[in-house]
Amino acid sequence: MRATAAPYAAMVMDARTGEVLHSRNADTQLHPASLTKMMTLYVAFQAIERGEITLDTPVRISRLAASEPPSKLGLRSGQTIRLRFLLRAAAVKSANDAATAIGEAISGSEDAFATRMNRTARAMGMRNTNFRNAHGLTQSGHLSTARDMSVLGRHVIYDFPQYYNLFSRRSADAGVARVRHTNRRWLDSYAGGDGIKTGYTRAAGFNLVASAQRGQERVIATVFGGSSTSARNARITELMDMGFNRAPSRATIRRPNPPAAMLTSSNSQGQVNPGKIVRVSGLITRSIRPTARPVAAPVQEDVLVAAVDADVINAAIADSVNAALTEALNAPTPAPAPTQVIAATPPTVTPIARPATETQVAALVPEATVVDTGPEVVTRISTSGGRHWGVNVGRYNTRYDAERVLLRVALNEMSTLDGSLRRVVQRSGGFDANFMGLTREGADLACRRLQARGTTCFMIGSDG
C-alpha cells in the first residue's frame, strides 16, 4: 500500500530534556491519523489515575463505536468488554472501535471526549493541534503537527511509565481476540526501539512517532507523510540514528509537567465524573523538622560515608555483590515451599546495636565487630503476593556494563530497591538491566526517585 504524495514533516527530540535535534515542517498542520490515539490513551490513563474509571470497568459498546471502519477489533453494539482490553486494542492494533468506546466510557460522548482531548493538548503546550474524534480518521479540522505529536509522545513516556510497555508489546490479549502490533517490524529491527504509535490514512500518508533507548539516552522521532510502511520505517531509522549521534551521552532528565485532568462532561451513565478534589486551606508558613531518633551512643559512620567516594564504595563491595548476583542469577527456580536453612544451634550472641544511619559500608569501618552467623543462602526472590513488577534502568552493550549500572543504582537507591533481584537479560539489542520482585507501588516509587536523580527508568512486568 502506498500513499498519494502526502505532505512531509519530521522532528527529532532528546526525550530526556525536550531539546529539538532536527526539524522539518514541524509546525505545519497535517492529518495525524491514528497518532491521535496517543492522546486517547493518555486521557484514559489520567482517568484511571484519578479514579474516574478502572482497568476492569465493563464498557458497553455503542452503535457508533461498533460501526467505526477498520482497523477495528470487531466489537458489536451492546457488547460489554473491560476497559483494559480496549486500551490494548487501541495501543497495539490501533483499533478504531476500541478508541471510540474508550472516549464514550470516560466522557459520555465522542464530542465531549474530543473537548477533553483538546484541553489536555493545550495544557501540554500543543498549540497547533485540534482533535475532533478519538481514533484519528480523517475529519475536517482534525489536525496536528510533528512538533505537537513529539511533545505528546514525551508526556506518554514520562507521565505514565507504568503503562508505557503497552506500546512495545508485539501482541496482546484484547479479550475477544489476540491482536498484533502495527509497528512490530520496526520494533524488531531497531536496537532499543520500544514504541510508540503508527498512523495511516490516505490523506495523512504513513505516520509514526517512535522512541528508542540506548543506555542513558532516549530519542523520540516523528514522521508525517511517508509514502509506504517500508519508506516510513527507513526514514524513521535515519532520524533515530541522527538523534543518537547528536544527543549528549549524559543529560539531566527534565521531566515534562503533567497537565491537570480536564473534566468536560458526564459519563455514559449520565453522572458527572467527580474525580478527586484537593482543597488547600492555607499557606505553609514554616517547615517542621521531625524529631531525631534516639540512639544509644554517638557513632561516626556519617563522617566516614560522607568522606568516601562512590568509586571507593563500588570497589570495596563489587566483588561480594557480583558474587551474590551471579549465584542468584544461576540458581534454579525454588520449589513452592519456602526455603529453609537447618543448622546446629549456634552459640548465644549478643546483638549489636543498630547504627543511627541506615547507610552501612562493609570493610570500611575497622571498629565494627564481625559476627560469624554461619552460611548465607542467596535465593531467587519470590514473585508471589503481588511482587511481580520490576524496573528497567537501561540497555547496555555488555553484561558487565549492565551489572555495573545495577550495582551503582542499588547503592544510590537502597531504600526502595531493598529486597529486589538484580537481573541482566540478554536481548537482541544488548543487555537489559532490571530490578525484579517489586510491588507495583514500589516499582513506581523507585522509578520516580531514580528519574529525579537523572537515571532513565521505566516499569516492567505486570500484564496491565
How are strands ordered across the β-sheet holding 193-201?
Answer: 19-24, 9-14, 217-226, 205-214, 193-201
Whether pLDDT at 334 is above 60: no
What is the enclosing helix (H) or strand (E) of 241? helix 229-246
At 369, the pLDDT band (50, 70, 90 cuts) reads very low
At 338, the pLDDT band (50, 70, 90 cuts) reads very low
Q: Choose among 34, 87, 43: nearest CA to 259.
A: 43
Q: What is the model's pLDDT at position 450?
A: 86
Could you read off the pLDDT of 100-129 as tens digits, one per residue?
Answer: 999 999 999 999 999 999 999 999 999 999
Whether pLDDT at 270 is above 70: no
- For residue 9, the SS3 value is strand
DSSP at 143: B
At 441, the pLDDT band (50, 70, 90 cuts) reads confident
* 337 Rama sector, left if φ>0, alpha if ψ -120 to 50, beta otherwise: beta
* Other CB atoms within 10 Å distance of the CB of residue 71: 20
Whether pLDDT at 18 is above 70: yes
269-295 mean pLDDT: 46
Could you read off the pLDDT of 2-16 as tens digits, one per residue?
Answer: 555 589 999 999 999
| Residue 315 vs residue 437, higher pLDDT | 437
Q: What is the model's pLDDT at position 358?
A: 42
At 462, the pLDDT band (50, 70, 90 cuts) reads low
Q: Are 328 and 378 in contact (CB under 8 A)?
A: yes
Could you read off the pLDDT of 240-250 as tens digits, one per residue?
Answer: 999 999 999 99
Whether pLDDT at 372 is above 70: no
Q: What is the model's pLDDT at position 296?
A: 54
State if pTM tops 0.75.
no
Active site residue 37: yes
Whether pLDDT at 367 is above 50: no
136-151 mean pLDDT: 97
At 449, the pLDDT band (50, 70, 90 cuts) reads confident
| Choice among 62, 72, 93, 94 that is catalytic | 94
Q: Which three cell numbers stand for residue 230?
A: 517500508
Q: What is the model's pLDDT at position 293?
A: 59
The full DSSP string for 379-408 is -PPP--TT--EEEEEEEESSHHHHHHHHHH
Q: Across all residues in the chain, what is the average pLDDT?
A: 80
At 407, the pLDDT band (50, 70, 90 cuts) reads confident
263-272 mean pLDDT: 46
At 292, the pLDDT band (50, 70, 90 cuts) reads low
Could you read off the pLDDT of 40-99 as tens digits, one per residue?
Answer: 999 999 999 999 999 999 999 999 999 999 999 999 999 999 999 999 999 999 999 999
Residue type, 432: D
Whether pLDDT at 265 is above 70: no
- Name the β-bridge partners of 396: 431
Q: How far apart are CA 229 and CA 245, in angstroms?
A: 24
At 460, the pLDDT band (50, 70, 90 cuts) reads confident
Burial readout 195-224 (b: 16 or more C-beta within 10 A, e: otherwise) = bbbbbbbebbbbbbbbbbbbbbbbbbbbbb
| Choice among 34, 62, 107, 168 that is catalytic | 34
Whether pLDDT at 300 is above 90: no
Active site residue 94: yes
* Other CB atoms within 10 Å distance of the CB of residue 280: 6
* Separation of first and last alpha carbons in the chain: 33
Q: What is the model's pLDDT at position 201?
A: 95
Q: What is the model's pLDDT at position 461?
A: 74
